[in-house]
Amino acid sequence: MDKIAIISDIHGNLEALKVVLSDIKRRGINTIYCLGDIVGKGTHQEECVNLIKENCQIVLLGNNDEYFSRTWDHEFSEIEEKRYKWCRSKLSSDNLKYLLNLPFCYEFYLSGRLVRLFHAHPDLNYKFIGNIDTIERLYELFLPSDNTISQDKADLVVYGHIHTPFLQRIYNRTIINTGSVGNAIDVFRNPDKDANVLNTTVANYLILTGYLNSKEMSELNYEFINLPYDIDKELSDNFDNIEKEAYFNEIKNGKYRDMEKLNDSFEIRGINKSKI
């Protein structure tokens, strides 16, 4: 059987990426696919892009990869402009071009299932669909779009973007989120119910085991890997991070920096987080 490691959302966190790549090598896995968001947030963006280029056979476009590699003609807010300029300053011109030209989607058969990979959603690489979204919204993940390679509905979807690993089955189909290598968070927090935050602040990735390029239904396995890494060392290298406090809060405490924006999105979709 074939083993494929799928990683996502590194976000310039070199310590987390090195731990994940070392673990994949230790397991004897030679095939690595990356679902994007290599850059943004952490200071080691150039180093992370180089490691991804060296180690991954497939690399897809994340919303941060696109945002920081493109040139824009609209006006930024003050913080957006600072963030944009700082992140680009961490990347060589060659790696900016590399990120800009990454593909949106990748598809293959594994043990009889059509597997579709993308960063966030078949239509948009920044659309947020989480593990407690409605069935209707979750079902969108299986549908083809102008960005997908085929126009078939997928049997198995693997995506990143939300930074929290999960598996869901609906309509005889499977949704898997890999979680984040370098920026793991949990948006559902309650001080009276929370367990140890070290359950969240780890480097996450996924292993798929099956028969690659086979259309015959056969054994298929999913394995979530959660690895501790040296968070303090990673933070010590972020002395010039223009959003140092926000980055600390994310990788040390597992709390997303833009929760207000995300909460507004939940309200629009009828998800009442106050009851969680």
- Mean pLDDT within 258-264: 61
Q: Are strands 203-210 and 166-170 parallel, antiparallel or unpaired?
A: unpaired
Q: Domain segments of the chain: what residues?
A: 2-275
Kindly give, in sequence order, each residue whose CB lies less than 8 Å from that of residue 184, ignoring residues fewer than 6 positions away. Answer: 163, 164, 200, 201, 202, 203, 204, 251, 254
Give the whole-angstrom CA distance, residue 117 versus residue 104: 9
- Mean pLDDT within 214-226: 98
| pTM strictly above 0.75 | yes
- Fold (CATH) for 2-275: Purple Acid Phosphatase; chain A, domain 2 (3.60.21)
Q: What is the pLDDT of residues 95-134, one digit of tens each?
A: 999 999 999 999 999 999 999 999 999 999 999 999 889 9
Which two three-digit tokens encode residue 56? 């991954």
pLDDT value of residue 143: 98
Q: Look at residue 159 and give its three-state secondary structure.
A: strand
Q: What is the pLDDT of residues 8-60, one digit of tens each?
A: 999 999 999 999 999 999 999 999 999 999 999 999 999 999 999 999 999 99
Radius of gyration of the chain (CA): 18
Q: Look at residue 58 and give its three-state secondary structure.
A: strand
Strand order in the sheet with 31-34: 58-59, 31-34, 2-7, 203-210, 221-227
Partnered with residue 159 across adjacent β-strands are 177
